[in-house]
Amino acid sequence: GWCPLSPTGAQSTQLLVEPPWMPAVLWDQVTLTCQGSGTAGATTWYKDGQHWGPEGHDSFTVTTSGTYTCQSPNSELSPSVMVSDERLVLQVPAWALLEGDTVTLRCRR
């Protein structure tokens, strides 16, 4: 498995997706929220690996497809979330699933 290494003292950062379905798609009016240990309102956002606005906001509604990550002060970079503009998708819950769990799938078009 892949295990990220963080600088000493760095805290994990989570990128939450609402509605909580993956893959995330534009027509779901996806809201991304960055949760870390840093100062509220000091979030740095990245889209497709490049520094990107909305600078300082902890959450926003996605309007363009791409791969998003975020970072709070004194925290590591979050895992990435891809938001696509696909017209037909099979979605699974965004939360972690374990073998044996009952899962609901959504076929959206």
Its pTM stands at 0.79
- How confident is the model at residue 10, as a pLDDT? 57
Q: Give the number of other Cβ atoms within 10 Å of residue 10's Cβ.
A: 16
Q: pLDDT tens digit string along 32-55?
A: 999 876 666 688 999 999 998 777
Structure tokens at 72: 């709070």
Q: Which CATH architecture has domain 13-108?
A: Sandwich (2.60)
- 86, 81, 79: which is closest to 25 by C-alpha? 86
Listed by start position, the domains of the chain span 13-108
For residue 53, the cross-strand partners are none
Range 62-72 average pLDDT: 94
